[in-house]
Amino acid sequence: MNTLRNFFAVSLMAVIFFFSGCFDNSSGPDVDEPDRYSHVLNPGASANDFLSDENFDELVIEIDYMPGYAPNDRALDSLQAFFEQRLHKTSVTILDPTEVESGGQDQYSASEVRELEELHRDEFSSEQVLAGYMIIVDGQFEQNNVLGIAYYNTSNAFFGPAYDEASSGLGSPSRYQVESTSFQHEFGHLFGLVNIEGSGTEMQTDHHDEEHGHHCDNDNCLMYYAMERPDLIAQFFDSNVAELDANCIADLQGNGGK
Ligand SMILES: [Zn+2]
Ligand SMILES: [Zn+2]
C-alpha cells in the first residue's frame, strides 16, 4: 500500500515538474509568472527570443501611430526583409498599422511612452509566437534629439516630428530611408546590439563605441550612433539604406541569429 502511494506521489511530482519545465521554456526569461511572458523587461532581455527559434518560431509586430505619422510602406517592407534575413523564424507578420489618438504633446518622455503602450498595445507573446510593439508618436523625445528609442524588451518608440526634420530640406535622405534605418536600428538594440549586458548578444570582436552608448564604431554600420540622430543621419546616405556590418552580424549569429 505504502509502495503504491509512493509510486503515485512520485508520478505526480514528475508530471508537475514536466509541465512547469515546459511552461518555463515557452515563456522565455520570465520565470516568476511562468504562463505569461513579460514585456516590461529591459531592451536586450529578449534578444535570443527574437534571434533564435528556441522559444518562439514566429514573430508578429504590432504598430500604433498617432495622426499624421502612418509609417512608410516601403520602410515596413524593408523591416520585414531585415527580420527574415537575421531571425530564425518560420513566419514574420507585420500587422496593419493602427491609428491611435494624439497624445497632444510636443514632447514625450520614456515613461509617457510606456504609459501609451499600456493604453494601446493589443498583441502579447504566447505559445510559439513572439510579439513586438512599435509606437510612432506625434512629438519629439524629451531627453534628446533622436528618431527612436528601444524602451522595453519587445518595444520601440519613434518620434514623427524627428522624421520630418531628418527628411526635409535639400539633400536630405528620403522618408523611406529615414524610417527604414530608424526602425531597423532600434530593433538592433532589442537584439542586444551593441554589447548590451544581459542580452546574450556578446561581441565577437570589440566594436563598441563606448562614448555613444550601445553603438557600433563603424560609421557605415546601421548601429552607428548617428543613425538615430535626425541632425546627423543625412551625411550617411547616397541612395541606399544603412546595413549591419560584419561585426554586428557576427554578434547576432553568436546569440542564435542568422
Ligand atoms: Zn541606437
Ligand atoms: Zn556594426
- Tens of pLDDT, residues 175-189: 999 999 999 999 999
- Examine the domain organization and report whether 157 and 132 are in the same domain: yes
pLDDT band at 24 (very low <50, low <70, confident <90, very high): very low
Ligand 2: centre distance to CA 103 (Å): 34
- Examine the domain organization and report whether 112 and 7 are in the same domain: no
- The whole-model pTM stands at 0.86
Ligand 2: centre distance to CA 202 (Å): 13
Set of cell numbers at residue 194: 551593441
Set of cell numbers at residue 169: 530640406
- Examine the domain organization and report whether 26 and 108 are in the same domain: no
Report residue 121: phi and psi, to 5°.
-70, 135
Smallest Cα–Cα separation from 163: which of 211, 243, 77, 234?
Answer: 234
Cβ burial, residue 149 (10 Å; 0-12/13-18/19+) = buried
Check whether 153 has a pLDDT greater than 90. Answer: yes
- Which pLDDT value is given to residue 239? 62
- Examine the domain organization and report whether 32 and 48 are in the same domain: no
How many structural domains comprise the chain?
Answer: 2
- Which pLDDT value is given to residue 113? 97
CATH number of the structural domain spanning residue 243: 3.40.390.10
Segments forming the whole domain that contains residue 203:
42-254
- Examine the domain organization and report whether 50 and 20 are in the same domain: no
- Which pLDDT value is given to residue 222? 95
- Which pLDDT value is given to residue 6? 52
- Examine the domain organization and report whether 6 and 107 are in the same domain: no
- Examine the domain organization and report whether 168 and 238 are in the same domain: yes
Ligand 1: centre distance to CA 161 (Å): 18
- Examine the domain organization and report whether 198 and 215 are in the same domain: yes
Cα 193 from Cα 201, distance rounded (Å): 7
How are the residues of the chain apportioned to helix, strand and coil, as percentages rounded to the nearest 5? 40, 15, 45
- Tens of pLDDT, residues 45-90: 999 999 999 999 999 999 999 999 999 999 999 999 999 999 999 9
For the CA of 232, the nearest ligand? 1
